Structure 1
């Protein structure tokens, strides 16, 4: 997938985590999202930022 915005389900698939975990990350503001009408979407850049933060937390 190379879309600009992803659903929670698509983001979960890309991150290889559960949909519930994506919603937890959104709820805790660990993963940024945008609201379009009544839908919540996750920008591709937000997924990349989240993974970069995880990598920064890894011990050297």
Structure 2
């Protein structure tokens, strides 16, 4: 079973890593004067939504 601390830790870690990845890919795209990647942004939004859904499911079951 997962406790509340590990839920917060894993969710914040996942959102943080995806945000840093999106931010750094923006630097790379800007450096080479390329266009942005829409798929990376959609992945970031999906990870954020899944993390939010994680909390909703956890607190409803509790």
Question: TM-score higher than 0.5 here?
Answer: no
Structure number with greater Rg is: 2
TM-score (norm. length: structure 1): 0.29
TM-score (norm. length: structure 2): 0.28
Larger RCO of the pair (alpha carbons < 8 Å, separation 6+): 2
Report the structure, 1 or 2, having the larger helix content. 2
